Structure 1
């Protein structure tokens, strides 16, 4: 939907059509508001479906609405109507979604529709335009506000997208709490897969006093055609293309499978005949423009999309996902290989969904998809306004495909059929069949299941209310959607939590008119979102007092303290563990240790955990006076610290641990580390070295993908709206990456790191990695010869604190324009300091690459 029209008579934003409350009588306001919205839609050639108009009419009348219509039936337009209706009444409206990426996407979309001044965002990390009348927020934000302020919260309307997350075991509480507490609010609950909601409709009416209307429809704007096939994926894709069923989204249940599938499809002709292919390639190249593929996977993705193949999953850099979405919206991609995250509001228009299976590993076990999951994914097929029907294909398991082909080969000969040696399903993994497929296509979504639970953070938020009463907690515990038996268990849990807060002195009691004769209040101030944005930051701050400022590793120890409170980046830690185990196995083999003993030793090895014992002891002490901290866990690790110690770039980290398919995970973790250290480390603990590292890390992140860093920077003023330029940039593509040379402090740090990376690899005698590091140079040093010469003269090469000293790196202006000269002095055991790595930094090439690029490098022997 594009709110800007070339016709000058059309308002620039929907907010311009808001009725004047001083001129429109209250009795006519609902009708005028609804007609204004419908007129806005008509001006944009949008015709509302009956269900959309029914829902919008009910919202205008003040009803709660449960919108249970199929995917692709325009729920977003109903949400827009809800926000418009709330604004017309001078009310404040919140949009919630399960993931931050979807909240961010909706934020920029609503900025386009209503204007940036009318829209804000709260994600727990930061806030932008927080006093705006329309707020986009994660469900946990709204739940925390509801707990803290109850019915007095400054929320008049809540639009909950993907409401089926109500049933998520870990997060469902956040979808339930607003329903329990915000009695004044109007609710719009939206999902394609809700099941029977009669009980929810009645519950909402009882709590809010509003009529509650369920708007449901089984009729899709674009009907679906389901098929179960016994052909291998590449053959199925070829048949779909021949039948004109592109674009096709191939659904996988791991990022690795999605990336590997994309590579395997490059042998197919996906862009049509020679003439058509040439035109499509030119169109793709034009759409890509000067977009920079700056990482290892980026180079792979560049080759894939130029062949009409997209990749889309959460492990990718955000800028790559946005590029794939943009190319898909322009109809330039034939096939997109992705994961089942397609089911969570991803904006990828497609005609055909091809599921490569019906079973997934959910983090606990390998199981068949639930009906809700299947329909969320399948419902993405079919593009309204383009397709008369969407196609959903499900692949049979590999063993079934092989058996089917054997039967086809045997024909009707009973002897041959009897002799068939059928393949069996792999052991220990869930499998599926055509009957599974048939059941899922017709099954209703599972019933919503209450996931209410009480935690210390929730309890503190309730006690923090200005008018906290016994009744508020009683209503929350007895009024939630759990069974009586589960409520009883939660009450016992809450009593234990409450006693812990009393013992810790966080809560104190005072006489009051309650059944017990007492009420409670907090003894200290806690920020409103303390449980959302790095909740263990107070622990990290306390733990800093245990560090020795005179220690040569002090800055690194500060980093490790805060890394311990960050969420674990699973892919990185597992890769680090594999690498450490591999090194240990090699060493044990060399020592002649037998296999059984090697296996036992290696099982004990994990990733590096700096300060583990000290931090765990400190955490136990901290929890004694801050029992809410037990809702969370510390997790020592060394990702940023390792990068600093080994002078690694983003590319180095990705290459060292083979993380090309998880670059997005790496970026998010490093962004969280940068943001947390920047925001949380107090001045007295910020050494010049740490400031240097933060400047370097911020620039490194911008060069890789500026979207996350810039988004946070845009939110640094919580009361300021984003600019129209930022909205346009987000909507139409990633903006120009800033030149690395424009940040001299970060550049100098990167040059130092680049040269010290050579020292590290030289000390470890990694001549192949040195050659790879300098592979772009026309004349690189003869590293094997240089290594022989060094170790003929010295037994070792220093790489410790003294070797990393700024005194051993001299950076000056180069003799030629746009160059720097850098001398890296090697730290030999004798202290001669005669050997030097002498390099010339090419600033133009550095800006283009987003990483340091040398024009020349030579080794000067002492």
Structure 2
């Protein structure tokens, strides 16, 4: 029998006291007891006050959030939970489904939407901000939990935490973080806006207290001591991905894991595909009991590290400071290798907020009585201390001291460390900004037709309400005027006679595709620039890709590798020509990474900038990564190996994913030629081989349907419904198979196709099937000709079944051989992996 949920226990017309008693009983049944700060905050929630909750990591803020959701349900209202990280949103969604029942809980992240009309919604902060912009005070968001509220001060994303406070005047807020600092200006604004009291609940009491230690011994000795003292698992905090990987490699010389743990780890990862170039290194680290965790890794590798860590199998995890939010790794000790970091502009001592956010992850509730935070002294000072000791023991008075690093270093000492421990976090500062996406959202708000000034007036009012100072507001108003002109010039906005009032009204063009997105600051430039391309040009599809790439952020690490490769090739060519060293160096001075159509793009942008002064400091960034991969038909692994990107596979993956989204969401339908669709399908197929978990999101984007993790809440996706995309995917899968066969990579060929249990095609079978072809023709051709559409045939063969064939191109041009197979989607209309079942090659 199914256990009743917390919502099922709600009595009719429960008052605050009855609700509190019900909640206490539920908490007790779970074997928990409330801390004083939790109890105080929950009472304030049930009294219908706003709450600012400032308590340490692990102190049970989530229970207070559950209380707010319960309070909302009891009053017949709708509540939202927001977080900065999609993974946390998903995790909270499943947690709340268990507490309140899946029929009452929904999720929206921008990548997925589940049960969007539910009484409780889990979403990213940006989603709620967009709802607030589009619906204003009428938004069905009566109670709002804003987790990790310190993001309010984030320069890039902080505006999403401020907008709901400005626009949701009827909502009740719960703002939570371990590192809020002084929030009095925010509290005063909420009280003025809503007319209700803000209760501030703060406590320094941690369920697992922290001990702080400053280490002046070499790093490996410090780690060994901590492991010997039973203070593992230890997170080794670095501030670059390179340092994280180097420390993981250095730790291979030390045995932290027992033989039994190593055997268990080997069993745990036996089914994991470490099939990218860096995969072998990751596998080696893990089998040795060492974890590596940073944003340059593929998501699947990070998830393996998190899973092994939760099982207590990794004694030391080397990673970056991204640990603070959204990483589910239970730790006993956090060890800082440095107390300074490069913030994008300069190297500086960590902020108190950053330090406490990371340090707060030490100590596992329910496992540890004590958590530990250790900071290493500067490495050169530790080494000098050892040199001094050796010199003193040998009776030497003179010795050479090791110098401090010349760059990327700011000195710190134990006093610096103690100040970070003892000082409160810095006050939160407003980071409000206006964007063209914000204006579009405001213009789409219902009721604008009856409102004088419409959405533009709403934006000006919003700037006036913001938490910025007067000088900043004046600048933002000027920027808003420029934004409006730019959107109108790009035909995103239309000014027309007002339907109900005198004068004119501003509306969003009705013929923009439903998934049109302005997620990039220069999306308007892309839309305008696409119109300058010649659709009859043989380079049209590649130029569409190039324009998309020009508005994406530069993955600098990848581009520098491209530049290194170009320089190496040029130097080798000049050496072969006998050019002297000095001349060679001069010739490579001005070299940069590939920038196809750069002059054309810069000219277009100059025109765009004259007509759209709001772009300000923005600029286009021509480059060729997506284009380069497609032109040479390189797989993800091929590209990683060629450029030596092993330690930054995740960087490449994120860039390719961003490029894919731009192609699908921002390129209007009129510019999606058949070859553009082929390019989209190529990346889908190539990257599916790397991390299939990304494909669900892509299918949703391509077919305009919601991806769901609760099947009964949405109909199954049918990828064959949109025929152009479906056939492009078929061609891409067949091309990937032919490429593998042409290269003699039989294992890869087997991985490119679906496998029938009663008729599998393994590597040996592919090799045997192609052997007669190779004996007759010598080699299989895979070039542009082999990928022409006339080489692929797709014929319907009943409902959700198709016969497919792919002509194999030979050097003589006879082309009598073909791969024949079928696609059967009767049981699964949205397969994540390969679709094609091979029947014959002959």
Equivalences for 1:271-670 in 2 at 5 Å?
271-272=257-258, 277-278=259-260, 280-411=261-392, 416=396, 419-428=398-407, 429-462=409-442, 464-465=444-445, 466=448, 467=451, 472-473=458-459, 475-498=461-484, 506=493, 508=495, 521-522=506-507, 524=509, 533-534=519-520, 539-593=525-579, 597-621=583-607, 633-670=619-656
Alpha-carbon shift at residue 527 of structure 1 (Å): 8.5
Q: Distance in 1 between matches of 2:602 and 2:471?
A: 36
Cα deviation digits, residues 796-852 of structure 1 (max 9, x gap):
x999744765789999xxxxxxxx9995534xxxxx6699999999xxxxx999999
**Residue of structure 2 in register with 1:5 after alignment:** none
TM-score, length-scaled by structure 1: 0.79
After superposition, the Cα gap between the structure-2 partners of 1:536 and 1:502, relative to the gap in structure 1 and judged at 3 Å, is: closer
Q: Distance in 1 between matches of 2:212 and 2:83?
A: 29
Q: Distance in 2 between matches of 1:282 and 1:489?
A: 62
After superposition, the Cα gap between the structure-2 partners of 1:679 and 1:173, relative to the gap in structure 1 and judged at 3 Å, is: closer
How many pairs were matched up? 771
Give the match's secondary structure for 2:689.
Answer: helix
Give the match's secondary structure for 1:136.
Answer: strand
Unaligned 5+ residue runs, structure 2?
715-728, 746-762, 768-776, 795-804, 822-830
Q: Distance in 2 between matches of 1:451 and 1:572?
A: 30
Equivalences for 1:689-728 in 2 at 5 Å?
689-713=675-699, 721-723=708-710
Give the match's secondary structure for 1:710.
Answer: helix
Cα deviation digits, residues 636-690 of structure 1 (max 9, x gap):
3322222222121111111112222222222223233334434555666545444
After superposition, the Cα gap between the structure-2 partners of 1:77 and 1:291, relative to the gap in structure 1 and judged at 3 Å, is: farther
Q: Distance in 2 between matches of 1:651 and 1:851?
A: 21
Contact 2:153-2:429 at 8 Å conserved across structures: yes
Q: Distance in 2 between matches of 1:691 and 1:711?
A: 17
After superposition, the Cα gap between the structure-2 partners of 1:81 and 1:700, relative to the gap in structure 1 and judged at 3 Å, is: farther
Q: Distance in 2 between matches of 1:487 and 1:683?
A: 38
**Residue of structure 2 in register with 1:66 after alignment:** 52
Give the match's secondary structure for 2:278.
Answer: helix
Q: Distance in 2 between matches of 1:494 and 1:686?
A: 32
Q: Distance in 2 between matches of 1:804 and 1:138?
A: 41
Contact 2:87-2:326 at 8 Å conserved across structures: no
Alpha-carbon shift at residue 163 of structure 1 (Å): 1.3
Q: Distance in 1 between matches of 2:832 and 2:288?
A: 24
Give the match's secondary structure for 1:722.
Answer: coil
Higher relative contact order (CA 8 A, sep 6+): 1
Give the match's secondary structure for 1:183.
Answer: coil
Q: Distance in 1 between matches of 2:660 and 2:197?
A: 48
After TM superposition, the structure 1 stretch with the greater mean CA deviation from structure 2, 590-599 or 153-162, is 590-599
After superposition, the Cα gap between the structure-2 partners of 1:456 and 1:9, relative to the gap in structure 1 and judged at 3 Å, is: closer
Alpha-carbon shift at residue 93 of structure 1 (Å): 2.1
Q: Distance in 1 between matches of 2:74 and 2:315?
A: 43
Q: Distance in 2 between matches of 1:548 and 1:461?
A: 32
After superposition, the Cα gap between the structure-2 partners of 1:499 and 1:267, relative to the gap in structure 1 and judged at 3 Å, is: closer
After TM superposition, the structure 1 stretch with the greater mean CA deviation from structure 2, 350-359 or 103-112, is 103-112
Give the match's secondary structure for 1:302.
Answer: helix
Alpha-carbon shift at residue 191 of structure 1 (Å): 1.1
Cα deviation digits, residues 31-76 of structure 1 (max 9, x gap):
3333333333322222222222222221122111111111121222
After TM superposition, the structure 1 stretch with the greater mean CA deviation from structure 2, 612-621 or 655-664, is 612-621
Q: Distance in 1 between matches of 2:662 and 2:50?
A: 39
Contact 2:147-2:175 at 8 Å conserved across structures: yes
After superposition, the Cα gap between the structure-2 partners of 1:192 and 1:665, relative to the gap in structure 1 and judged at 3 Å, is: same
RMSD: 4.3
Q: Distance in 2 between matches of 1:563 and 1:522?
A: 29
Give the match's secondary structure for 1:388.
Answer: coil
2:31 matches 1:45: yes
After superposition, the Cα gap between the structure-2 partners of 1:608 and 1:70, relative to the gap in structure 1 and judged at 3 Å, is: same
